[in-house]
Structure 1
Amino acid sequence: MSTVDSPTPRSTLASLRRLGPYVRQVRRPMAWSALAALGASGAGLVIPLVTQRVVDSITRGGGLRALVPLLALALVVGLAEAGLILVRRRVIARPTATLEKTMRDDLYAHLQRLPVAFHDRWQGGQLLSRAVSDLTTIRLFLAFGAIFMVVNALTVLLGAVVLVVLWPPFGLVAVGLVVPMVFLSSLFEGRYKTVARLSQDQVGDLATRVEESVLGVRVIKAFGRGPGFTARFAAESAALRRTEITKVKILAVLWAAIIALPEIAIGATLLIGGIGVGQGHLSLGALVAAVTTVVYLQWPIDSLGWLLAEANKTASASDRYWEVRDAASTITEPTRPRPLPTPVRGALSLRDVHFTYPDATEPVLRGIDLEIAPGETVALVGLTGSGKTTLTTLVPRLFDVTGGAVLLDGVDVRELSTSVLRAHVATAFEDPVLFSASVRENVALGPGEVTDAQVREALEVAHCWEFVQELPWGVDTRIGEQGLSLSGGQRQRLALARAVLGRPDVLVLDDPLSALDVHTEAEVERALQQVLAGVTSLVVAHRPSTVALADRVALLQDGRITAVGTHSELLATSAAYRHVIASDTSELSRT
């Protein structure tokens, strides 16, 4: 797996046992299904005994009157077997489908709780394969494989008892069936589970490759990298093919051995039974019944290889599912959340804030101190890599500080429930993330009920209303995955509209005008002047025109704020500030 460390291997039984909390939810349907399946198998084993009576009756000169009840019994038993099979399927289908839905819902909810740091480490395809294919594997095993592993094992044991009852020497045949099965099962488990896990991880990597290629198709085509990406995909696909072939080779050996067991057992039954009949120790009917019993046991024995493969595959799917579920959220809810003072003023304080990314050795922020008064707009300026974007993620707790504190109205944001915090703090990112949904749904993404009037107001503030009205269905137009049917400026303005919807108390804008042309920038800036009035705002700025919107400017250098003042004050007193502004202006002129 390319995104996370390989997990510590565990036994198949231990991996399957982790599904216990979910299996308990369907234990009754599974029990009824198992009883129905066992009843069907038991009914099937009655047929050989009926066959014995029929053959013995014929060989002893019994007439039609003696055969009729036996034939009627065989018909009833056959119908009972078919009916029990129907019951088994009907009983188990809906509960296991519900279990799969519950597990998928729990996984998705947990993904939403996990911090941004987790999602930075994991590939989307890996998470997708766990949420879809792995859970389907688990459902199918619980609905069929787990039940028949037990039922078929009991059927084989019951068949062995029938053989011994028919004639004790047939016990040798029973031992010849059961002992090799146990040995092959223990020999097979470890090897197949390792390969099955590798295959599932490779499927996740392949899904990631497809996802990235689809989302980045414009870049791939623009740089003529289609053949290169195709070659990479082909290499990963070939690796998956090799793994699947290895799985087939392991299964081939196992199945060949297991399928041979009933064939050998039939020959042994005929040999032992023939000797018994010849010596007068066994009736012909008992021999026919014994052979019929062994033939009936072919399916339970032959299926063992497939069921073992499914058990190991499901164990790997369980491990992969719990790898994500076990991931701890570092953004934890306080045990006793503190309320914000009423009314919320929006005073924002950063006190001796330090931050180091997970697995990093050097801090990004080193002792940030900044006070933003209610209704004040502060622009955050600095060269690339100075920590501007990182600082903006700490306010809504996308990351938690590793030192110091961020306070809203005097309350540490870590002492607020995240729902309350994010209801009062809105964010617009430099890279506008839009979803495959309507314009209305993208803008009204935040918590709470949103009216059409509020959506229109936000669109007008972000200067979106005009181009949205020109879309085929206006605000109800679906804008496609990632909003790629829109221009970069249009996507950024929609993200800005989402942030300003509902007039939040604190607004965090990460370079909100970077993708706008000069004409649109001027119009949006005029609208922003209205929005920012009375709203506490922290704005990452690169353009001098954006800086001009702020009441004060904070200069960030190498993870520290080195100067704070108005734009004109810093131009007059800070050479570093003049250098940053000149660098950003030069960069903009080149673009």
Structure 2
Amino acid sequence: MATVAPTLCAMATNQTPVPVHRSTVRSLLRLWPYAREIRWRIAGSVTAALIASGSVLVVPLVLRAIVDGPIADHDLHALWPLAGVLLLLGLAEAGLFGVRRVLVARPLARVEQAMRGDLYAKLQRLPVSFHDRWPSGQLLSRATSDMFTMRLFLAFPLVFLIVNSLVFLTGTVLMFTLDWRLGLITLLPTVPLVMLTRHFEGKYATLARRAQDQNGDLATVIEESILGIRILKAFGRHRTMAERFRQQARELRGTELAKADQLANLWAVIVGLPEIALGFALALGAVRVADDELTAGTLVAFLSTALALRWPVESLGWLLAYANEAATATDRFFEVMDEPEHADQPSGHPAEADRGIRFSDVRFRYPDAPADSPDLLCGIDLHIRSGETMALVGATGSGKTTLTALLPRLYEATGGRITLDGTDIRDIPRQRLRELVSVAFEEPTLFSATVRENVLMGSPGADDGRLAAALATAQAGFVEGLPAGADTQVGEQGLSLSGGQRQRLALARAVVGEPGFLVLDDPLSALDVHTESLVEQALRRVLGSTTALVVAHRPSTVLLADRVAVLDQGRIVAVGTHQELLQSSPVYRELMSGQSGAPAAPALEGSPA
């Protein structure tokens, strides 16, 4: 069969998408669905903080009464009640701030837990193509440091952005009430401060986003270094990786210093301009007191009010900075949450009568492939009869693993249709589809759990008898020699086991649920010849009761199959028994012999007719 050879589509590099710019307020408003459940707690926290801060503004009025009353009249007896009022105001302020923290601490921990749970669930639902694009460190930083940033914003900066704004407005009114001339002088820096903060917000938001992304990149380097520590040591590349880490750490340090520089400049102006204005107001107030145009108590009250407003003004820089940090963290969180999931949509095709697995004109290209590149799979037509085992062979990079990944919908076919017993897989809910189709990948992945937990991921409800049968099929007798048998922790990625042991446990996981459809992607590649032979003998019994597609790279694996399909340049170019293909398919002969243009290999002993 003559076909045009398509070039394989390049996989996308692990890069996060370019962020969409939103205003700080619009970004932070996206937290409302999570914060809504504790809105009354937040309102209570704002109220407590507002009353506590408001009590500070009562102090200048009490001071005016003290200066113009007991002090001016030299009446010590009248001083003590007013001093007691000051003490009570201080105690009330401290108590109310304590109440504020109690109101929101526990509820906000639940909000963070809910957001982290939603993010994790979303990551589980997103297609494999999403995980191909995103570095794991970027996702990890969104689930950890970004979550902390958002929770802390809701607990403190959000409250004080509201409280300090109201306190500032109230204090301004009070200063104008005490003396409008002094109030006008004190507020002169307001216009340049507003202009400066708007300029600061744009630059700081850019730096905050860059720092959070660099933090994610750094987490990726750390994760890769830890998981690949054996390779780094074996090839003596640990110094290279350390230099890469230092380089990215220096870039992150530079960004953090740039943030600090921006914040320092803002604070210098925020603190400096009001102090200069306050100095002029003090000088003018002293002159007016000397001219008997203003009482000393009023001047003390005005200055005390102005000093009480220093925290709302000086905190503006820090609060704006943290608001920008939280806004970028929110954007990063929703970049993942907004990713589209492949919905289970009816195919619109009627069910077919044939049984087994059928690929009909199936096409596939990776989502990030260049628009002008050809498909990786070009019109695959293949029927695996019910109860039949089909071996899939092809050169490296021909698309075998990709084709098998379409069956459980780890990737979505971009054209054609795939049916199981006549039902389009798009008409089968994903959860049900993955109960029907069990998969063992060429690269076995184990989790930080016991052997039992790793194997029973293939069938959580399986009993000890089925667990033992699956381990026997996979020739995983080594489990009995582990310290705690099947309850032994295998460690992260199962690295405490050999490659062959991991592969046998992955095979046991695939067969423990006695699936109706089985996909095996070269499941015996890491086994020695003797163990491979034993596994093949046991696996034949399993394959006799299921419909299976087996990716094969060795002639010995081909013996497990009833028929063989040859994948070449994105198409199925031949289907038949091993002996038939040796006679009729040059591509198959080349694959089995491992030599281009080699003569036909002899029929393997015991090969199916």
Tell me, yes or no, whether TM beats 0.5. Answer: yes
Indicate if the aligned counterparts of 1:346 and 1:536 stay in contact, CA closer than 8 A. no
Letter in 2 for 1:419: Q
What does 1:184-199 correspond to in 2, within 5 Å?
Answer: 184-199=196-211
- In the TM superposition, residue 428 of structure 1 has moved relative to its aligned partner by 0.3
Quote the residue 1:118 is aligned against. Answer: 130
Larger CA deviation: 442-451 vs 309-318: 442-451
Quote the residue 1:351 is aligned against. Answer: 360
- In the TM superposition, residue 267 of structure 1 has moved relative to its aligned partner by 1.5
Return the alpha-carbon distance in structure 2 between the equivalents of residues 517 and 272 of structure 1: 94
Indicate if the aligned counterparts of 1:170 and 1:272 stay in contact, CA closer than 8 A. yes
Quote the residue 1:222 is aligned against. Answer: 234
Return the alpha-carbon distance in structure 1 between the equivalents of residues 348 and 374 of structure 2: 32
- In the TM superposition, residue 340 of structure 1 has moved relative to its aligned partner by 9.9
Return the alpha-carbon distance in structure 2 between the equivalents of residues 12 and 160 of structure 1: 26
- In the TM superposition, residue 253 of structure 1 has moved relative to its aligned partner by 0.3
Give the one of 373, 393, 406 matched to 2:405. Answer: 393
Return the alpha-carbon distance in structure 2 between the equivalents of residues 246 and 297 of structure 1: 28
- In the TM superposition, residue 423 of structure 1 has moved relative to its aligned partner by 0.6
- Per-residue CA deviation, residues 65-86 of structure 1 (Å, 9 max, x unaligned), is 3222212222222221111101
SS where residue 292 of structure 2 aligns?
Answer: coil
Give the one of 556, 578, 582 matched to 2:589. Answer: 578
Letter in 1 for 2:31: L
Letter in 2 for 1:52: R
SS where residue 142 of structure 2 aligns?
Answer: helix
SS where residue 79 of structure 2 aligns?
Answer: helix
SS where residue 509 of structure 1 aligns?
Answer: strand
Give the one of 236, 240, 265 matched to 2:252. Answer: 240
- In the TM superposition, residue 174 of structure 1 has moved relative to its aligned partner by 4.1
Letter in 2 for 1:229: M
Quote the residue 1:494 is aligned against. Answer: 505
Return the alpha-carbon distance in structure 2 between the equivalents of residues 427 and 339 of structure 1: 27
**Count of residues paired in the alignment:** 582
Distance change in 2, residues 1:173/1:83 (3 Å): farther
Return the alpha-carbon distance in structure 2 between the equivalents of residues 292 and 339 of structure 1: 81
Return the alpha-carbon distance in structure 2 between the equivalents of residues 167 and 573 of structure 1: 103
Quote the residue 1:468 is aligned against. Answer: 479
Quote the residue 1:481 is aligned against. Answer: 492
SS where residue 358 of structure 1 aligns?
Answer: coil
Larger CA deviation: 569-578 vs 373-382: 569-578
Return the alpha-carbon distance in structure 2 between the equivalents of residues 391 and 52 of structure 1: 83
Letter in 2 for 1:350: F
Quote the residue 1:29 is aligned against. Answer: 41
- Per-residue CA deviation, residues 269-327 of structure 1 (Å, 9 max, x unaligned), is 32122122112122111111222222222222111111111011111111111111111
- Per-residue CA deviation, residues 150-186 of structure 1 (Å, 9 max, x unaligned), is 1112111111122122222222144235434322221
Quote the residue 2:573 is aligned against. Answer: 562
2:301 is equivalent to residue 289 of structure 1: yes
- Per-residue CA deviation, residues 206-255 of structure 1 (Å, 9 max, x unaligned), is 11011111111111111111111111111111111111111111111001
SS where residue 289 of structure 1 aligns?
Answer: helix
- In the TM superposition, residue 524 of structure 1 has moved relative to its aligned partner by 0.8
Quote the residue 2:161 is aligned against. Answer: 149
Quote the residue 2:605 is aligned against. Answer: none
Quote the residue 1:505 is aligned against. Answer: 516
Return the alpha-carbon distance in structure 2 between the equivalents of residues 346 and 515 of structure 1: 33
Return the alpha-carbon distance in structure 1 between the equivalents of residues 361 and 203 of structure 2: 54
Letter in 2 for 1:122: W
What does 1:6-17 correspond to in 2, within 5 Å?
Answer: 6-17=18-29
Return the alpha-carbon distance in structure 2 between the equivalents of residues 584 and 340 of structure 1: 43
Return the alpha-carbon distance in structure 2 between the equivalents of residues 200 and 339 of structure 1: 50
Larger CA deviation: 108-117 vs 575-584: 575-584
Distance change in 2, residues 1:439/1:173 (3 Å): farther
Distance change in 2, residues 1:516/1:139 (3 Å): same
What does 1:66-465 correspond to in 2, within 5 Å?
Answer: 66-176=78-188, 178-329=190-341, 331-334=342-345, 347-360=356-369, 361-446=373-458, 448-464=460-476
Letter in 1 for 2:547: T
SS where residue 561 of structure 1 aligns?
Answer: strand
Return the alpha-carbon distance in structure 2 between the equivalents of residues 164 and 339 of structure 1: 79
Indicate if the aligned counterparts of 1:349 and 1:408 stay in contact, CA closer than 8 A. yes
Indicate if the aligned counterparts of 2:70 and 2:76 stay in contact, CA closer than 8 A. no
Distance change in 2, residues 1:340/1:93 (3 Å): farther
Letter in 2 for 1:366: C
Indicate if the aligned counterparts of 1:338 and 1:415 stay in contact, CA closer than 8 A. no
Letter in 2 for 1:109: A
Letter in 2 for 1:510: D
- In the TM superposition, residue 59 of structure 1 has moved relative to its aligned partner by 3.5
Return the alpha-carbon distance in structure 2 between the equivalents of residues 431 and 125 of structure 1: 21
Give the one of 525, 530, 534 matched to 1:519. Answer: 530
What does 1:55-70 correspond to in 2, within 5 Å?
Answer: 55-70=67-82
Return the alpha-carbon distance in structure 1 between the equivalents of residues 124 and 184 of structure 2: 58
Indicate if the aligned counterparts of 2:186 and 2:274 stay in contact, CA closer than 8 A. no
Quote the residue 1:589 is aligned against. Answer: none
Identity %: 54
- In the TM superposition, residue 497 of structure 1 has moved relative to its aligned partner by 0.5
Indicate if the aligned counterparts of 2:354 and 2:422 stay in contact, CA closer than 8 A. no
Q: What root-mean-square deviation, in Å, do the aligned CA atoms of Structure 1 and Structure 2 show?
A: 2.1
Which TM-score applies when normalising by structure 1? 0.95
- Per-residue CA deviation, residues 530-576 of structure 1 (Å, 9 max, x unaligned), is 11111100000111111101111111111111111111221222222
Return the alpha-carbon distance in structure 1 between the equivalents of residues 40 and 595 of structure 2: 67
Letter in 2 for 1:421: L
Return the alpha-carbon distance in structure 2 between the equivalents of residues 416 and 301 of structure 1: 60
Return the alpha-carbon distance in structure 1 between the equivalents of residues 34 and 62 of structure 2: 42
Letter in 1 for 2:546: V
Which TM-score applies when normalising by structure 2? 0.92
- In the TM superposition, residue 394 of structure 1 has moved relative to its aligned partner by 0.8
Letter in 1 for 2:296: L
- In the TM superposition, residue 88 of structure 1 has moved relative to its aligned partner by 0.5
Return the alpha-carbon distance in structure 1 between the equivalents of residues 97 and 587 of structure 2: 80
Distance change in 2, residues 1:242/1:302 (3 Å): same
Letter in 2 for 1:489: G
SS where residue 434 of structure 1 aligns?
Answer: coil
Return the alpha-carbon distance in structure 2 between the equivalents of residues 336 and 518 of structure 1: 44
Letter in 2 for 1:439: V
2:541 is equivalent to residue 530 of structure 1: yes
- Per-residue CA deviation, residues 29-66 of structure 1 (Å, 9 max, x unaligned), is 11111111110000111111111111111343152332
Return the alpha-carbon distance in structure 2 between the equivalents of residues 451 and 259 of structure 1: 70
